[in-house]
Amino acid sequence: MVVNASEESINRIGIVLADTTLPMKERFRALFTLKNMGGNLAIENIAKCFIDDSCLLKHELAYCLGQMRDEYAIPYLVQVLKDEKQEPMVRHEAAEALGAIGKEDVIPILEEYKNDPVIELAETCQLALGRLVLPKSEANVENIYGSVDPAPPSQIKSLEELEKILNDENETLFNRYKAMFSLRDIASPESIIILSKALSRGSALFKHEIAFVLGQLQSPLSVQYLKESLIDETQNDMVRHECAEALGAIATVECYDILKQYLSDQKVVVKESCEVALDMCEYENCPDFQYADTLEKITS
């Protein structure tokens, strides 16, 4: 969705996004407002914030640039991918975004990092490369969530077969992701439980994507599983962060109570994720609440 707005308005929203004195939830709303606007100036305002101290915000910047699918963002994402000073969670998201944009020009840079010692980055580059060699009809398949996914859904419809592929660590990660997105799209209670149980196995990258799709599904059936991973301090930060955001999307009273308990978590990325997730809880429970509302705020 591209929203018409003046250059002044876009830059003012960019100022909100870059303002480190504001609560993270306000900056996130500014980010998603810019994402909805689209265009070069919105991308420039998003990319300026890759110097921020917040790993969570930078991760989300990269995610939004990928979802915008605008090749103007490619140089910014390549720079983040190459920057070893950036957190693995941020570099991984930059690689995923390059795959989402879908330009074959980025294949050499992804090839360069597909065996990186940072496992989350290596796995993401492998997935992105798998996506880029797909026929466009398969790579660009749409889903009801409106997301650009790292892999298309599998053509297999048997829950038993999909569960077997999903949990088979000898299978390629790309095929496991295809099974994951197929189970998401089936969206039955059985498929949701299969996905929820998979939160307890696999790499950090795999588990973080499971949490992401559970957030898309917004089913209370997954709350207990997401809670277990969120409270488990031995889990990778990217897994705990994604579990928090998924709970925010599900937005039941139980989710709200769980998230409040971790607003002071020792891991900053988890703490900030809970803050943003609580804001999402309010959005999901208020029919009049527009989430990406920064344009309205700065012009009112």
The domain boundary residue, chosen from 133, 158, 177:
133
Whole-model pTM? 0.93
Please indicate if the annotation marks 242 as binding a ligand. Answer: yes
Q: Is residue 118 part of a domain?
A: yes
Please indicate if the annotation marks 59 as binding a ligand. Answer: yes
Under a CB-based contact definition with an 8 Å cutoff, are residues 272 and 261 in contact? no
Do residues 287 and 164 both lie within one domain? yes
Region of 69 on the Ramachandran plot (φ > 0 left; ψ -120 to 50 alpha; else beta):
left
Do residues 152 and 53 both lie within one domain? no
Q: Is residue 143 part of a domain?
A: no
Q: Is residue 140 part of a domain?
A: no
- Give 66-89 as a DSSP string: HHHT-GGGHHHHHHHHH-TTS-HH
Cα 198 to its chain centre, rounded Å, is 18
Please indicate if the annotation marks 171 as binding a ligand. Answer: no
Angle in degrees, 0-180, between the axes of helices 253-261 and 268-285, rounded to the nearest 10: 160
Q: Is residue 142 part of a domain?
A: no
Residues composing the chain: 300
Predicted confidence (pLDDT) per residue in 144-187, tens digit: 999 999 999 999 999 999 999 999 999 999 999 999 999 999 99
Q: Is residue 141 part of a domain?
A: no
63/216 Cα distance (integer angstroms): 15
The domain boundary residue, chosen from 78, 103, 133:
133
Q: Is residue 272 part of a domain?
A: yes
Do residues 37 and 105 both lie within one domain? yes
Do residues 218 and 123 both lie within one domain? no
What would the mean pLDDT of 128-151 be, rounded to a whole number? 91
Do residues 126 and 152 both lie within one domain? no
Please indicate if the annotation marks 296 as binding a ligand. Answer: no
The pLDDT of residue 46: 98
Do residues 226 and 299 both lie within one domain? yes
243: confidence class by pLDDT, cuts 50, 70, 90? very high
Q: Is residue 165 part of a domain?
A: yes
Do residues 6 and 118 both lie within one domain? yes
Do residues 90 and 203 both lie within one domain? no
Please indicate if the annotation marks 60 as binding a ligand. Answer: yes
Do residues 152 and 129 both lie within one domain? no
Please indicate if the annotation marks 7 as binding a ligand. Answer: no
- For residue 19, the enclosing domain spans 1-133
What percent of the chain clears pLDDT 70, i.e. is strictly above it?
94
The pLDDT of residue 205: 97
The domain boundary residue, chosen from 79, 103, 133:
133
Lowest average pLDDT, out of 169-178, 248-257, 289-298, goes to 289-298
Please indicate if the annotation marks 208 as binding a ligand. Answer: yes
The pLDDT of residue 136: 82
Do residues 180 and 51 both lie within one domain? no
Predicted confidence (pLDDT) per residue in 49-83, tens digit: 999 999 999 999 999 999 999 999 999 999 999 99
The pLDDT of residue 3: 57
Do residues 297 and 152 both lie within one domain? yes
CATH number at residue 88: 1.25.10.10
Q: Is residue 139 part of a domain?
A: no
Our count of domains for the chain comes to 2
Please indicate if the annotation marks 209 as binding a ligand. Answer: yes
Do residues 160 and 129 both lie within one domain? no
- Residue 300, pLDDT > 90, answer no
The mean of the pLDDT values for the chain is 94
